[in-house]
Structure 1
């Protein structure tokens, strides 16, 4: 069945350095959890400048002018719904789009088993939720960004927790600047073993450690969820895909998939008070 959206909706995933923006293209297959698909619905990604850019506010405002509804998920403390409202009503031509914000209120007890939900980044939950809607059974989702997260959601759609570890570039920068005589290196793994140059030694100690640590955490998580599919997203997903021995899938729109599921299925329940 095909569903044409009644309202043109923009999804905003506000991270620490920039906002990712996407719209779901018309003609996508509308599915619930019981009739899910492995195919990935088509998203149109809109590129925006970083927060620090002088063009950021104008670019975001101009983009939002073309939409009826905006769904916001933010892990940035200073970019929540009120800041978005202020930005959209500033300037000569204001956007009057309706704004829906996904907050930690979605983390009702039946949807997670995390001891400190008040500190959980909502993007971690949404990425797991998005992966869960694209397959069947439990999922392990890793967002390989500035920090690298590895999270699990069980077959019932309950978020179970995960790992936060340094990202690949964080490791490279920390080691390169952390000791005299060392330097930052490009991302890569040494061809010879043991590494026969300082550059390859640093690559082994950073990129090699990153891959080995990541695999160890994923394997330990999979001991709890042996049938879980492993999903990758984030800037260093391709590097892990090509250098890991594990069978993984990659999808950079997992947070948007989770936001879409929240809009279609969880928000109506919240409005009903269930």
Structure 2
């Protein structure tokens, strides 16, 4: 049994993997998670830990120390990690967020052909994988909440609280919320159309994941698939790949 840990900016997703199957999954807040992570490893006594960490590098050091204390091997994945058959065309692969890389890897296990992968949480990433398994690149924009907060801080006389998603906002809080959603949807549609033209197809596969997946899915007119915890799924497939060798 192996433990997969996907450490994000806000939450940590974890799963216990054995024989190509999730035995158990859960999540916890990233902040003040030190004791909980120690307990997680100590309680389940995994054969190994597979870690993806896009932030909070102190937690990588912590988990490395915990693993050494408990004699549990740990593998820390990065944007440079080999995930065949994917080909990383990023100019500096070590700068690529491992969450993006693993999400592309997971998407390829689920689907064939050109894929556009959207991960929307604290930030929103939109990445393209062609039919030859080449990661062509992608964009990063602020997540929906981050957009709202940035406008709140940077714009005079708004000082809005959390708004509601309504079609025609009539107060500033609702206007920020709806604007952030529509800005994100607009970015996805633009990337989708550009990718479709690049590969010369009328449609490409669109995958939505991340904490805002349901919200975006409800507003997106393009055909798409919703996958929970795509980065964690990528870690699971990586464990399967390691076990098969």
Per the shorter chain, which TM-score range? 0.7 to 0.9
Contact 2:208–2:226 under 8 Å retained in 1? yes
Shift in Å at residue 141 of structure 1?
Answer: 0.6
Shift in Å at residue 208 of structure 1?
Answer: 2.5
Partner of residue 26, structure 2: 46
Shift in Å at residue 25 of structure 1?
Answer: 5.8
Partner of residue 123, structure 1: 99
Alpha-carbon displacement from aligned partner over 1:54-112 (angstroms, at most 9, x marks no partner): xx2221112112112111112226246543121345xxxx5222212223332599711
Structure 1 residues 74-83 or 132-141, which shifts more?
A: 74-83
Cα RMSD between the aligned structures? 2.8
- Gaps (5+ residues) in structure 2? none
Contact 2:13–2:232 under 8 Å retained in 1? no
Alpha-carbon displacement from aligned partner over 1:188-209 (angstroms, at most 9, x marks no partner): 44334xx544444434433332
Partner of residue 143, structure 1: 119
Shift in Å at residue 127 of structure 1?
Answer: 0.2
Matched, 1:13 2:6: yes
TM-score (structure 2 length as normaliser):
0.84
Alpha-carbon displacement from aligned partner over 1:207-234 (angstroms, at most 9, x marks no partner): 3323223322233223224343111111
Distance in structure 2 (CA, Å) of the matches to 1:25 and 1:112: 28
Contact 1:129–1:258 under 8 Å retained in 2? yes
Contact 1:130–1:261 under 8 Å retained in 2? yes
Q: From 38, 41, 47, give the equivalent of 1:61.
A: 38
Structure 1 residues 125-134 or 10-19, which shifts more?
A: 10-19
Note the 1:144-223 alignment, pairs <5 A.
Answer: 144-186=120-162, 188-192=164-168, 195-223=169-197
TM-score (structure 1 length as normaliser):
0.76
Q: From 65, 70, 90, give the equivalent of 2:49.
A: 70
Distance in structure 2 (CA, Å) of the matches to 1:138 and 1:187: 36
> SS of the residue aligned with 2:80?
helix
* 1:79–1:43 Cα change, 3 Å: farther
Q: How many residues align?
A: 240
Rg: which structure is higher? Answer: 1
Alpha-carbon displacement from aligned partner over 1:132-154 (angstroms, at most 9, x marks no partner): 10122221111111110000112
Contact 1:150–1:218 under 8 Å retained in 2? no
Contact 1:15–1:74 under 8 Å retained in 2? yes
Distance in structure 1 (CA, Å) of the matches to 2:126 and 2:100: 9
Q: Which structure shows the higher strand fraction?
A: 2
Matched, 1:260 2:236: yes
Q: From 62, 87, 91, give the equivalent of 1:83.
A: 62
Greater relative CO (CA pairs within 8 A, separation 6+): 2
- Gaps (5+ residues) in structure 1? 1-7, 29-41, 270-274
Contact 2:13–2:27 under 8 Å retained in 1? yes
